[in-house]
């Protein structure tokens, strides 16, 4: 599908508009775009939900949340922004609600004949509602348009809980919405450094010639959090770290960093190469999975000198839950470029540090005369840091001043969001910008969803067959010590736990 320009007139309808995601991420991101003059000229916003009884109550709730989460909040600017926000109490299963929705949208469009072509339905709802919502939208004529690529329907993560549910939800949705009009969210694709991976790889002669098994020893993809499950206990206890993080965010980062160079940078070509990676993920062997996977669950501990409770004591969590809140996985990609290169993925909650990064460790290739002065810490390392800082650093070796034969690792470091007065657009700001103009490179295709679920399901099945234990770890630590041993057995270390060296 060709990328379109952002239309001047647009109606955005958010199902689940009263939920925490909408209040803490979606509307604040739209507000930030409004402040920067990046919203369509005539954009109307409609929140749908059951929590608030009237529009005034809803707008006050949005304002209070925005004030808490936005550093650039201004009461005057928010009031101007919120003039185009309206609210409708809504039950996803009530056909009367869809009739009223159609009437409201026609009134907003000021048209006696038909609805505006530029409609976006954003489903910030649980996936089991996707089929019902799209079916009723179609039944009441809300998915009809004479213009190609409209209306657009957005589906929030997760798209399913396993392959079977994802296939079922996709079949339900595709009965009413063509693939080219579907936008499946993975907000990591909106993060600045994730988008920068292509430029780092393909716009620098320094990297692409050595981006293969001959020069790379291993790649680590890490996303850790200090926070617990917050208000997502009911969902998270059914999902766990493997389904919540690895199936989506971490595998997306893996695909971006390992895909073959696309013919061009169109969404179609990028997706094609990413899908090839998902298809090439080697299924784990149940007989060897204990050497490739570590699962854990946090118990009570301390983070930033504050006591935090155990996972099983969190709201809406079963007291005997065996859901993993930590996962470390070693995997392989069956391709010529990446043959025998191990990939290590790690994610967890209630760890000592919030961090997301991709770490590329290059093969040691030193002159024989210098090898005796080097140690494992002297590896050449490329770090692409996604959060909290955004940037790139390259670790290489140099002579230590004043020491004739002493070689030390040093860093060249670029921090994108460390610049004074620089505000990097938030992920959802980028997601909305791409959505308005129809850029599907920031969204996931069904084939990506399908093959990533196939892989995660195979890992989960192998873990169950091998009876992989859920290891307890104290909140505020690095996670189970077994995760360190996972790499130690291969003669490697997690580079997020190795100190940084002096910048140059």
- Exposed, middle or buried, 136 (CB in 10 Å: 0-12/13-18/19+)? buried
Please tell me the CATH code under which domain 189-361+443-497 is placed: 3.30.360.10
| Confidence (pLDDT) at 425 | 66
SS3 state of residue 168:
helix
Domain 9-185, CATH class in plain words: alpha beta
Task: Determine contact, residues 390/424, Cβ cutoff 8 Å.
Answer: yes
**Mean pLDDT on 287-310:** 94
Say yes or no to pLDDT of 419 above 70: no
| Confidence (pLDDT) at 112 | 42
| Residue 295 to residue 242: CA distance in whole angstroms | 9
Structure tokens at 361: 């460790």
| Confidence (pLDDT) at 109 | 56
Between 388 and 222, residue with greater pLDDT: 222
Using CA atoms of 98, 102, 107, 108 in order, give the dihedral in degrees to the nearest 10.
90
| Residue 165 to residue 170: CA distance in whole angstroms | 8
Selecting among 129, 215, 249, 405, the annotated active-site residue is: 249
| Residue 222 to residue 243: CA distance in whole angstroms | 15
Can you name the residues that pair with 249 across neighbouring β-strands? Answer: none
Model pLDDT for residues 223-274, shown as the tens digit of each residue: 999 999 988 889 999 999 999 999 999 999 999 999 999 988 888 899 999 9
Model pLDDT for residues 428-480, shown as the tens digit of each residue: 999 999 999 898 888 999 999 999 999 999 999 999 999 999 999 999 999 99
| Confidence (pLDDT) at 176 | 94
Q: What is the 3-state secondary structure (H, E, C) of 264-316?
A: CCCHHHHHHHHHHHHHHECCCCCCCHHHCEEEEEEECEEECCEEECCHHHCCC
CA distances from 133 to 101, 108, 129, 207 (A): 12, 21, 6, 46
Say yes or no to pLDDT of 99 above 60: yes
| Confidence (pLDDT) at 145 | 77
| Cis amide prior to 19 (ω within 30 degrees) | no
Say yes or no to pLDDT of 111 above 70: no
Say yes or no to pLDDT of 120 above 80: yes
| Confidence (pLDDT) at 366 | 65
Structure tokens at 356: 């997301």
Asked if 249 is an active-site residue, the reply is yes
Domains in the chain: boundaries: 9-185, 189-361+443-497
Task: Determine contact, residues 11/40, Cβ cutoff 8 Å.
Answer: no
Cβ neighbours of residue 189 under 8 Å, at least 6 residues apart?
A: 195, 252, 427, 431, 441, 442, 443, 444
Between 278 and 503, residue with greater pLDDT: 278
Cβ neighbours of residue 89 under 8 Å, at least 6 residues apart?
A: 48, 49, 50, 52, 53, 97
- Biggest CA–CA distance in the chain, Å, is 84
Lowest mean pLDDT of 98-102, 190-194, 420-424, name the range: 420-424
Degrees to nearest 5, angle at CA 493 with 454 and 275: 25
CA distances from 123 to 3, 49, 338, 431, 461 (A): 22, 11, 37, 14, 30
Burial 102-118 (b: 16+ CB within 10 A, else e): eebbeebbeeeeebbbb
Annotated binding site: 16-23, 50, 91-92, 157, 187, 191, 225, 244, 349, 354
Model pLDDT for residues 128-184, shown as the tens digit of each residue: 999 999 999 999 999 987 777 899 999 998 899 999 999 999 999 999 999 999 999
How do 152-155 and 119-123 pair as beta strands? parallel
Q: CA 227 from chain center: how many Å? A: 16
SS3 state of residue 340:
coil
Degrees to nearest 5, angle at CA 184 with 183 and 190: 90
pLDDT-derived band of residue 499, with 50, 70 and 90 as boundaries?
low
Task: Determine contact, residues 406/373, Cβ cutoff 8 Å.
Answer: yes
Model pLDDT for residues 38-75, shown as the tens digit of each residue: 999 889 999 999 999 899 999 999 999 999 989 889 99
Strands (E) in 106-145, as ranges, are: 119-123
| Confidence (pLDDT) at 1 | 42
Quote the percentage of the chain above a pLDDT of 90.
Answer: 65
Task: Determine contact, residues 405/373, Cβ cutoff 8 Å.
Answer: yes
| Confidence (pLDDT) at 398 | 80
| Residue 141 to residue 136: CA distance in whole angstroms | 9
| Confidence (pLDDT) at 54 | 93
Q: Mean pLDDT across the chain, nearest whole number? A: 89
| Confidence (pLDDT) at 498 | 67
| Residue 254 to residue 248: CA distance in whole angstroms | 10
């Amino acid at each position: 599908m060709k990328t379109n320009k952002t239309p001047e007139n647009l109606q955005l309808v958010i199902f689940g508009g009263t939920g925490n995601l909408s209040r803490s991420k979606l509307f604040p991101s739209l507000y930030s775009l409004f402040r920067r003059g990046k919203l369509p000229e005539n954009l109307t916003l409609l929140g749908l939900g059951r929590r608030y009884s009237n529009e005034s109550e809803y707008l006050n709730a949005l304002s209070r949340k925005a004030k808490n989460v936005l550093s650039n909040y201004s009461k005057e600017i928010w009031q101007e922004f919120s003039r185009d926000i309206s609210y409708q109490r809504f039950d996803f299963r009530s056909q009367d609600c869809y009739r009223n929705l159609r009437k409201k949208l026609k009134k907003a469009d000021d048209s006696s004949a038909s609805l505006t072509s530029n409609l976006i339905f954003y489903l910030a709802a649980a996936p089991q509602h996707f089929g019902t919502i799209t079916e009723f939208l179609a039944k009441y004529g809300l998915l009809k348009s004479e213009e190609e690529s409209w209306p657009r329907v957005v589906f929030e993560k997760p798209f399913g809980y396993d392959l079977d549910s994802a296939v079922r939800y996709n079949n339900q949705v595709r009965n009413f919405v063509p693939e080219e009009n579907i936008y499946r969210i993975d907000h990591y694709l909106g993060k600045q450094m994730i988008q920068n991976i292509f430029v780092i790889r393909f716009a620098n002669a320094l990297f692409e010639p050595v981006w293969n098994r001959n020069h790379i020893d291993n790649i680590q993809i890490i996303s850790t959090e200090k926070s617990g499950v917050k208000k997502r206990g009911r969902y998270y206890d059914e999902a766990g770290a493997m389904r919540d993080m690895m199936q989506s965010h971490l595998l997306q980062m893996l695909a971006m960093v390992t895909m073959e160079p696309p013919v061009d940078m169109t969404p179609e070509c990028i997706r094609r190469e990413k899908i090839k990676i998902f298809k090439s993920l080697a299924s784990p062997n149940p007989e060897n999975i204990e050497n490739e996977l570590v699962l854990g669950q946090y118990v009570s501990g301390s983070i930033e000198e504050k006591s935090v409770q155990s996972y099983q004591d969190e709201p809406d969590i079963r007291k005997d839950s065996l859901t993993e809140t930590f996962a470390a996985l070693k995997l392989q990609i069956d391709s010529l470029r990446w043959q025998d290169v191990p990939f290590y993925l790690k994610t967890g909650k209630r760890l000592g540090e919030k961090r997301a990064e991709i770490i590329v460790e290059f093969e040691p290739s030193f002159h024989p005369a210098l090898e005796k002065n080097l140690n494992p810490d002297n590896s050449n390392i490329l770090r692409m840091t996604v959060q909290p800082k955004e940037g790139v650093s390259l670790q290489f070796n140099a002579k230590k001043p004043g020491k004739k034969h002493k070689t030390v690792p040093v860093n060249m470091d670029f921090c994108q969001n460390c610049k004074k007065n620089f505000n990097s657009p938030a992920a959802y700001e980028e997601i909305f910008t791409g959505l308005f103009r129809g850029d599907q490179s920031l969204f996931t295709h069904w084939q990506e969803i399908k093959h990533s679920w196939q892989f995660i399901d195979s890992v989960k099945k192998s873990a169950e067959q091998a009876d992989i234990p859920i290891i307890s770890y104290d909140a505020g630590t690095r996670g189970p010590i077994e995760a360190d041993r996972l790499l130690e057995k291969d003669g490697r270390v997690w580079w997020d736990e190795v100190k940084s060296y002096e910048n140059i």
